[in-house]
Amino acid sequence: MTRHQVDPRLLDDSELTRHLLAARGTQWMRGNRGDPYALILRAQGIDPHALYRGMRGRPALRQSESDTWVTASYTAGAEVLEDERLTLRDPKARRRRKVFGIDAGSSLKHVLQLDDDVLARPPAFYAELSAAVAPVLGSAALERHRGAVDGVFERTLGSLGGSFDLMEDFARPGTVAAVAELLGLSEAERAEVAGLCPGAGTALDALLCPPTLGMTRRLVESFDGLRKVVDTLVAARSAAPGDDPVSRLLRETPDPGGAAADATVALMLTLVVGVETTANLVCDAVLALLADPGQLALVREDPGLVAGAVEETLRFQPPVRLESRIVSEEVQIAGQRLDKGHQVVVLVDAAGRDPEVYPEPERFLVDRAPGVPPLSLHGRSPAGFTAPVVRFVAGAALGRLVADRVGTLGLAGQVVRRMRSPVVQGVARCPVAATQAG
């Protein structure tokens, strides 16, 4: 069912353009016929939450016109993400160059294939890798860097004037600098990574929504550029290990023979997925607070609620909104029989507002009582591996903004989301400016 997924490195511009246009055309036509999932993938001019209301109820798992099974239910979504028989790739998929055509005999499930060793391992791998590297990248270990990361965001914010772009001037550069600090990168490595991370940030979206040709080429160039930086870094630390974070990652990998490979995956996930999700989480948390002065006042009165604001954003406006899985063997999910090869997509942001699970689901409440954890950054996924870093860095960024600026900031223009970004709904521009303190 995913045989038309292609590795863009294997195609010339003409072939790749045909593949991307055919995929986009199929999504567009199905959206025109009213298929909600196709409209979500089109990611243009529609609020997906307006669609989710019609996708709730029974059955919890529904088959779209594109043959993809889709759920807006928290319970069904959790079942999908926990089931070992639902994987991130078709086991038969290989690096391939056969382009998709609108008259193809099978529906296109996934669009582009970048690096299955990083982004499409068995789901259990990401949970196991998280446990293995916890002494370096786990929540407790990251706390040792609290002062340094707080300093990164203090300096980033201090360099800005009264008006700036929340994403381009604060969230993304601050996140890259903070992650570089956590990984112990040199100044030269930091500069190189800072130039590559924005282009690689479209990786999750490109799995489900075809980018333009230019976006695709930039994605591949950035992804491969980061891989070169990481490979060089891992090789150097393997040859001359020290007490730096990368050397510790190499030592913590459970299989000595696979240490370099697993350390490479951990670093790539942190740079490709972690940076993008963190930067968008920061922006969406600030936007949610600015939209609700009462919740903003609570956080300013009690900075301890910053962590609550981060968690509530993961539920209310998560940085990863779609999770796709491929059925590896016949399975029953939410009362439906799914055949081998079928695609299942969890609408994570819809699940986060499931009224059967969350009281007052449409309200952003920074002091929401602990309860059902959000499905966003689920541990058995590439984004889930990055969850400790994302929460830690986003909390530091939001804490600095709340302490210094959020109470006197307001939107200074339209918030622009990145085109063709249904998974991340990435913020492209978010102009803010100082307002008179009230």
List pLDDT tens digits, range 273-300.
999 999 999 999 999 999 999 999 999 9
Percentage of residues in the chain with pLDDT exceeding 70?
94
Question: Among candidates 419, 387, 417, 214, which has minimal Cα distance to 310?
Answer: 387
| Residue 17 to residue 216: CA distance in whole angstroms | 10
pLDDT at 93: 60
The SS3 call for residue 33 is coil
Distance CA 39, CA 46 (A): 8
Question: What would the mean pLDDT of 131-144 be, rounded to a whole number?
Answer: 96
The more confident residue out of 70 and 379 is 70
Question: Is 137:385 a contact under the CB 8 Å cutoff?
Answer: no
Whether 188 maps to a domain, the answer reads yes
Which residue did the predictor score with more confidence, 94 or 414?
414
Q: Which domain holds residue 351?
A: 78-92+108-434
Asked whether the predicted pLDDT for residue 404 surpasses 90, the reply is no
Which of 350, 206, 223, 367 has the alpha carbon at shortest distance from 302? 367
Tell me the Ramachandran region of residue 329: left when phi exceeds 0, alpha when psi lies from -120 to 50, beta otherwise.
beta
Pairing outcome for strands 331-333 and 409-411: unpaired
Q: First and final CA of the chain: distance in angstroms?
A: 57
b/e 199-235 (16+ beta carbons within 10 angstroms → b): bbbbbbbbbbbbbebebbbbbbebbebbbebbeebbe
Q: How confident is the model at residue 105 (pLDDT cuts 50, 70, 90)?
A: low
pLDDT at 5: 86
Residue 35 in domain: no
Per-residue pLDDT, 71 = 97
Position 259 in a domain: yes
> Is residue 406 predicted with pLDDT exceeding 70?
no
φ, ψ of residue 298 to 5 degrees: the values are -60, -45
Instruction: Enter the DSSP assignment of 407.
Output: G
* CA 25 – CA 101 distance, rounded (Å): 10
Residue 216 within any structural domain of the chain? yes
**Which pLDDT score is estimated for 64?**
87
96 pLDDT band, cuts 50/70/90, is low
13 found inside a domain: no
**Phi, psi (degrees; rounded to nearest 5) at 394:** -60, -40
Report if residue 72 sits inside a domain. Answer: no
Spatial contact of 77 and 348, defined as CB atoms under 8 Å apart: yes
- Is 102 inside a domain boundary? no
Q: What percent of the chain has pLDDT over 90?
A: 80
**Quick check: 36 pLDDT over 70?**
yes
Please state, in angstroms and as integers, the Cα–Cα distance from residue 276 to each residue in 179, 205, 262, 433, following that order: 11, 11, 21, 23
Alpha-carbon distance of 32 to 435, in angstroms, equals 42
What's the one-letter identity of residue 357?
V
Split at pLDDT 50, 70, 90, the class of 1 is very low
pLDDT at 106: 60
Give the mean pLDDT of 167-171.
Answer: 97
9 within domain boundaries: no
Q: Which two tokens stand for residue 284?
A: 């969406």
Q: What is the mean pLDDT of residues 4-15?
A: 91
In the block, which residue shows the tokens 């360099």?
Answer: 159
358/348 Cα distance (integer angstroms): 14
pLDDT band at 436 (very low <50, low <70, confident <90, very high): low
Q: Which of 92-96, 167-171, 327-331, 427-431 has the lowest mean pLDDT?
A: 92-96
pLDDT band at 65 (very low <50, low <70, confident <90, very high): confident
Tally the C-alpha atoms within 13 A of residue 311's C-alpha that lie toward its C-beta: 15
What CATH number is attached to the domain comprising 314?
Answer: 1.10.630.10
For 331-381, write each residue's pLDDT tens digit. Answer: 999 989 999 989 999 999 999 999 999 999 999 999 998 889 999 999 899
Number of domains present in the structure of the chain: 1
Kindly give, in sequence order, each residue whose CB lies less than 8 Å from that of residue 358, ignoring residues fewer than 6 positions away: 74, 315, 352, 371, 372
Angle, CA 104 vertex, CA 102 and CA 110 arms, to 5°: 80
In whole numbers, what is the pLDDT of the chain averaged over residues?
92
